[in-house]
Amino acid sequence: MTHPIPRRAVLLAVAMTALARASDAQSARYFPPPGDAWERRAPAAVGMDSAAVAVAVAFAQANEINWSLDMAEQVRTNTAREPYPDILGPLMNRGHQNGIVLRNGYIVAEWGDTRRLDMTFSVAKSYLSTVAGIAFDRALIGNLDEPEGRTVKDGGFDSPHNAKITWRMHLTQTSEWEGTLWDKPDVADRRRGRDRTLNAPGTFWEYNDVRVNRLALSLLRLFRQSLPEVLEREIMDPIGATDTWVWHGYRNAFVDIDGQRMQSVSGGGHWGGGVWANTRDHARFGYLMLRRGNWNGKQLVSERWIEQATTPTPLRPVYGFMWWLNTDGQQFAAASRRSYFALGAGGNAIWIDPEHDLVVVTRWLAGNRLNEFMRLVTAAVVAPAPVPAR
């Protein structure tokens, strides 16, 4: 006599098969090894038009941003009208326009000096977001909606106003944190009216580097280890990044943790510092995100985190957890709606397009030319991304 297989067992078997297939597909994908042995593919081999790719590259090369190569001069110009313009972190003179296009992980196009170390400005915020994801995955952050001050007790969240701030608010730039950090009061970067009255935490969106730097300090206190060390161990070494990238803080941004003097890093180069990296290392980081946190079969940051990090913030639907989103095409009309971006001043961008299996990094491209560049790259896609062979 045969016995029917319980429906629950059938559903479990189906789910396990689907997971196995997904794992097989992930492991079948190409991941570049460490170093320069990064495979290239002719555009036609990955469903792109060679002539159209060449047009996109030529467009980028012809539209370098009109910033000074002298970064001290440029940053002084950028901050000249701010109430607290002092530069606190190191600066590095910039290189020239360069970039890289990946499809299916392979290099399809590369131009300029993609191995040159350069400042990245607010691209650093997306790296900081990923470090927060590691804290979340490790349960150092138990609940994104709990007050940050329940875990971080350094006086920064003691006021009745700041006591209401949650991790989610800080990650979405809706915290309205009030205070002074590294000699910069939060009003130093209140871009929508420095004299405005503060709103309740979670009710107002504002891009504010002082508050981002406060989040970086909170994460340092959680890990009790410098964030560059965390990023290196958990992300950059596993994805095969070079040893040239650095993450700077300000000259006065030091705290004592367990008897050790540690520097808290900045979330951009607004007043100097931030993540400095070459274009190829940015491409590896973008490719990790495209692969939903998985690198050659190893999950470095959870899919759950990436899903949350790329979910629109209700108060600012084109912003997630310090990643820019293309909700309804509002950010870049020419890019796919599923695209998301790490964006920094000076035309620094990591563009991740899951719809077309693309990662594109541009450096020092004029900001008002970025949408057209995206249109040209997207137009070069003439066939769906191939499914990895099992």
Which regions of the chain are under pLDDT 70? 1-27, 191-196, 386-390
The CATH number linked to 73 is 3.40.710.10
Interatomic CA distance for residues 306 and 290, integer angstroms: 10
Indicate whether 95 belongs to any domain. Answer: yes
What pLDDT was estimated at residue 22? 44
Which residue range(s) make up the domain with 234? 42-390
* pTM (two decimals): 0.92
Please state, as a whole number, how many other Cβ atoms lie within 10 Å of the Cβ of residue 389.
8
Interatomic CA distance for residues 187 and 273, integer angstroms: 20
What pLDDT was estimated at residue 385? 73
Helix axes 50-61, 370-379, angle to 10 degrees: 170
Bridge partners of residue 246, in order along the sequence: 276
Please state, as a whole number, how many other Cβ atoms lie within 10 Å of the Cβ of residue 233.
12
Interatomic CA distance for residues 213 and 247, integer angstroms: 13
Indicate whether 16 belongs to any domain. Answer: no
Indicate whether 361 belongs to any domain. Answer: yes
Domains contained in the chain, number: 1
Interatomic CA distance for residues 83 and 150, integer angstroms: 32
What pLDDT was estimated at residue 302? 98
What pLDDT was estimated at residue 190? 75
Indicate whether 32 belongs to any domain. Answer: no
Q: CB–CB of 298/238 below 8 Å?
A: yes
What pLDDT was estimated at residue 384? 86
What pLDDT was estimated at residue 207? 95
Strand stretches in 137-291, DSSP E: 180-181, 184-185, 246-257, 260-265, 274-277
Indicate whether 104 belongs to any domain. Answer: yes
What pLDDT was estimated at residue 27? 55
Indicate whether 317 belongs to any domain. Answer: yes
What pLDDT was estimated at residue 13? 44
pLDDT in tens, 197-208: 899 999 999 999
What pLDDT was estimated at residue 189? 86
What pLDDT was estimated at residue 28? 82
What pLDDT was estimated at residue 1? 47
